[in-house]
Amino acid sequence: MTTSVSAVSPAVTAKARLRGVVFDMDGTLTVPVIDFPAMYREVLGEEEYVRIKSQSPSGIDILHHIETWSPDKQKRAYEIIADFEKQGLDRLQIMPGASELCEFLESKNIRRGIITRNVKEAVDLFQKRFGMTFSPALSREFRPYKPHPAPLLHVCSNWEVQPNEVMMVGDSLKDDVACGKRAGAFACLLDETGRYNSPQYQNVEFKPDYKVSSLFELLSLLEKNFNLIA
């Protein structure tokens, strides 16, 4: 994968029709403020965190692990996650380029949605605070959640479009890219810092069709590489 806005998948050649864009929220539409490694360590414990991280090169699916636990242990884990998420809400900031990108999509009558593993309260606050509307906007109350393709397929059904007419955009290989590719959609990885250039991410199962370092680059990518059709 490269840091340019060109395709990283050889399958992407001619201009394809694009009728909708679905975004992850945390770290994609909003500036990343949640310390996920710290949260994972507190939920899992240091030893278990290190063990699972060594087995999961593309990232830890904390919700998947919690689902296998006893009710009491689950309750404590969700309380820890809720506390980290509450701190994130207090510091909520919009990602640079998000407003411009959404205005561009609106000017082209391109649909936009959200699929996040955060809670509905956070999604509602984001849309209200920054005056943006995404529909559907699916939080983790929708099951099964990313990386399962079900939420993205639900969005496509709601829009009455085919998955290959939609792009999933997010900052996570294991959640966003995997969800998009499993559903049959285009997948674009937002990698601000270039961390996914690390060799440990080169052999993951699901790779993005495109990779950008900002939402401004994504706007240029959409304009250059797709036929934008409502």
Residue 69: C-alpha distances to residues 25, 56, 65, 80, 200 (Å): 27, 19, 7, 15, 29
186 Cβ partners below 8 Å, 6+ apart?
12, 16, 18, 164, 166, 167, 168, 180, 209, 210
The answer to whether 203 and 209 have CB atoms below 8 angstroms apart is: no
**Which of 26, 61, 176, 191 is the catalytic position?**
26
24 carries an active-site annotation: yes
CA distances from 226 to 61, 191, 219 (A): 32, 21, 11
- From 154, 151, 148, 102, select the one nearest 126 (Cα to Cα): 102
Distance CA(197)–CA(191), nearest Å, equals 9
Helices 36-44 and 46-55 cross at an angle (nearest 10°) of 120
Residue 98 and residue 134 in contact, taking contact as beta carbons nearer than 8 Å: no
Cα separation, 168 vs 163, in Å, equals: 10
- The catalytic residue among 24, 175, 176, 191 is 24
Burial letters for 42-72: b for 16+ Cβ neighbours within 10 Å, e otherwise?
bbbeeeebeeeeeeeebbbbbbebbeeeeee
Q: Does 35 qualify as catalytic in the annotation?
A: no
Catalytic site positions: 24, 26
